[in-house]
Amino acid sequence: MATNVYMEALSPTMEEGRVVKWHKRDGDPVKAGETLAEVETDKAVMDLVARADGVLRQVAAAEGQTVAVGSVVAVIAAPGESVGPSVNAPPPVTSGSGKRDTGNVVTVTAPAPVAVAPLPAAAPADATRVKASPLARRIAKEAGVDLQLVTGSGPGGRVVKKDLERTPSQGAPVASAAGAAVPSPVSRVPFPERTGAAYQDVPLTQIRKTIAKRLAASLGPIPHFFLTTEVDMERASEARDALNKQLGDQGKVSFNDIIIKATAHALTKHPACNAWFQEDHIRYWREVHIGMAVAVEDGLITPVIRNADMKPLADIGREAKELAEKARSRRLQPTDYTGSTFSVSNLGMFDIDQFTAVINPPEAGIIAVGSIVQKPVVVDGQLTARRRMRITMSCDHRVIDGATGAAFLKTLKQMLENPLAMLL
């Protein structure tokens, strides 16, 4: 009996998914557990796997198409089995521009297979069998680069973004359709050439849809207030230099790692800030899990460093680097980005002096970290240059009062200005 392949909820908040790449084509034999397709969720690119053995038939979602969770995207039939048609077709998914997507999205309420025209077989230049990251595949497709001609430098010869940045395409560096360089992790999708039109509508990606929903759910209902303090980072800078000299080739500790560690310790002293608002109650956490804001190609995601108060700085540094790399390659798993109790957003590397961050519900607070700059300050009656940094805390007033947030910031400031205070 034929088995329907459904668009599964591959993340806790997923409502729809975009098919990035089919690894199996119509007529290919499949085994249970094999990857059928790569699907872009609201958080990452994940694998849609086969739930039965057989032959893949009647693929109903083209690459690049957005499909609602629970929709049928293909059928796995036994060899030689005849698969009948289905007439249960729902309204197509609406794109971010408000226009209806007319792609073949088919949802059924009973376990009946779907009947649609199969996708055409891959052209010889298609890089379906080439090992490459989802980001590399997307860049290559937009730039017209055949991945079969690219030498991969990633694990197992996997083609990654940097391989494409140095790959020529028709005598020119790989570029977007507008002639711009390959997008950095914080850029949006490449823009097409000018055509004389006044504008172009670009559908929202899954992650950008989720960001829009989360911001609306945060800035609207949550009564934010903001507290700012300036921190002397001289001792933290000296401690970082000494630690990195001692670590040598074992890794490096960044200022962000130190801030995460200090924030986690400060939260153990002020559990009223390590909390979730839960409609009819407040949940005060005994564990400290820090959400670390990471800019990705088309948005922002906050992977979580769990029990950050209990981990050495070197471990936090290694874990933060690994999570950031997974976030930018869209390979985070749900356990990597759920469950944070407080968040840190750092834009200091972009030369931002000060900003306010939006609370990530149900958390009650987040700190926004600016750049470390030399400023003239008075120390012991003498004017001198010191490295200074501004921190702004966004507080949910339903959970954190002004004095409560101020006390937390005071403790965090003391720990950053005297790192030995974290040992107390």
Q: Which of 23, 265, 281, 397 is catalytic?
A: 397
Rounded Cα distance between 75 and 81, Å, is 11
The reply to whether 281 belongs to the active site is no
Give the residue from 23, 413, 396 showing the smallest Cα distance to 218: 396
Q: Match 């958080």 to its residue by tokens.
A: 43
> Taking a C-beta distance cutoff of 8 angstroms, is the pair 372, 354 a contact?
no
Distances 125 to 121, 146, 147, 175 between C-alpha atoms, Å:
11, 6, 8, 19
Catalytic residues: 397
